[in-house]
Amino acid sequence: MANATPRDTRAGFDVYRSAGGDVRLEDLNAALYEAGYGPVSNRTFAHYRHLLNAGYDRYISINRFDVARAAAPFESQSASPRYSFQDVDLGVSVIFAKGSRLHETYGRAVEMGEVGAILRFTEPEVIDGLRLLKPQPGDMVTVRYLEPGRTVGGRVVEADTKASPATVEIEYTRLVSISALGEGTALPTTEAGFRLLLNPDAAEEVQTLDMVSRRIYHFFELIEGLRALSNEAGSLQAAAVYAEPSVLRRLTVASDPEVILQLAEQVIRLIPYAAAAGLMKAASLFVEKRKEWYEGTGQKTANALTDLEVQLKQLEVDRSTEEVAFIREVQERVRATFPTSTVSNDEIARMVTQQIIKPLQALGQSGVTGLSSDEHDGPGDQDPGDPQQ
């Protein structure tokens, strides 16, 4: 059977949906043939059922559907390269929840990060118990780290109970400071305020939840990317240090949103504000230029379209230049903040490109053209100290 075209698969879903899913593949393909469409495969037919069960009233491709179902950013952080694991050897007590059944066992955490851990079980009777339990991805777990006495909740990501020793990877329900689990020397924190500077058009728009949440989300992604870079550099110096997860102190959503965070001062030092503004403005200009062209009056000519293409190409060149300058300045700031770190410039560039530039550009596309920051002295603040302490 030849591959169905997007036109065929959309028409097939219309037929399937109009029948409420009560149609055989042979009858559906016959209806498509009579209407001038090509037949669909068993895989596409099964996909129709998944779409209908999920409440879709229109066809989307299998790849888009799978990505949409997997796009749960706070339930798959253990798969993100942002959060690294380190080798540890910590005793753990684990309670597996399997339906209404609870099973407690003991093992060792052999790798651990802020997002989860890999647990190893070596005792034969423990392995036998796990094989009977058959932990599956998504099963809830509660882990108590015995040495620091800290209990965290999570879920199973992967489990290999057929091997000996058995291993189970878990993902925490929230980021957990590794220093609270007895690993890593935490950097002192300070309170800092950040203001997201909006362009005039964005500031005057109705602040819908969609756009406000985008800006805040991308800003938090930016902070997490900077913190990941800080931790990578801090872990590769003579006296390794660790920046704990940032804590939100206050959030004000106004014409210029303001966020006050408790975080390591070293993370703040890595932000080149002028260069960041250049990246955000470059990203916003793409949106503004296309909007300006389409909202202009009169008939668009071929010459006008060519002019727009030339301008967009120049903006692309400018944006690439801004990115190179931004990466270079962040590299210099990393060297100044962590002078004994052995992190390479290539690794810094990779992390900046993947985890810092992307949220900055997303901020620019959402109407943010700059950031400003002021450190706030709050009650109980610790002395920021020296980055090497």
Candidate ranges 72-76, 143-147, 182-186; pick with highest mean pLDDT: 143-147
Neighbours of 181 (CB within 10 A): 22
pLDDT at residue 305, rounded to an integer: 57
3-class state of residue 10 by DSSP: helix
pLDDT category of residue 48 using cuts at 50, 70 and 90: very high
pLDDT at residue 381, rounded to an integer: 38
pLDDT category of residue 382 using cuts at 50, 70 and 90: very low
Give dist(CA 50, CA 42) in Å, integer: 13
Residue 384: pLDDT over 60: no
Look up residue 72 and give its two tokens: 């749960």
Look up residue 246 and give its two tokens: 């940032």
* Interval 64-85 mean pLDDT: 76
pLDDT greater at residue 79 or residue 166: 166
pLDDT at residue 378, rounded to an integer: 41
Weakest-pLDDT range from 46-55, 61-70, 108-117, 358-367:
61-70
Task: Give residue 338's identity as a one-letter amino acid code.
Answer: F
pLDDT at residue 388, rounded to an integer: 37
Residue 201: pLDDT over 90: no
Q: What pTM was estimated for this model as a whole?
A: 0.79
pLDDT, tens digit, 9 for 90 and up, residues 77-113: 777 778 888 999 999 999 999 877 889 999 999 999 9
pLDDT, tens digit, 9 for 90 and up, residues 280-292: 988 877 666 555 5
DSSP letters, 134-186, are: ---TT-EEEEEETTTTEEEEEEEEEEE-SSSSEEEEEEESS---TTTTT-S-B
Backbone angles phi, psi at 11, to 5 degrees: -65, -35
CB distance 262 to 189 below 8 Å: yes
Look up residue 3 and give its two tokens: 């591959």
pLDDT at residue 292, rounded to an integer: 58
Cis peptide before 165 (omega within 30 of 0): yes
3-class state of residue 241 by DSSP: coil
What are the residue ranges of helices labelled H in the chain? 6-18, 25-34, 42-53, 62-70, 124-133, 200-204, 209-235, 265-269, 273-294, 302-337, 345-352, 358-365
Q: What angle do CA 76, 171, 343 make, to 5 degrees?
A: 80
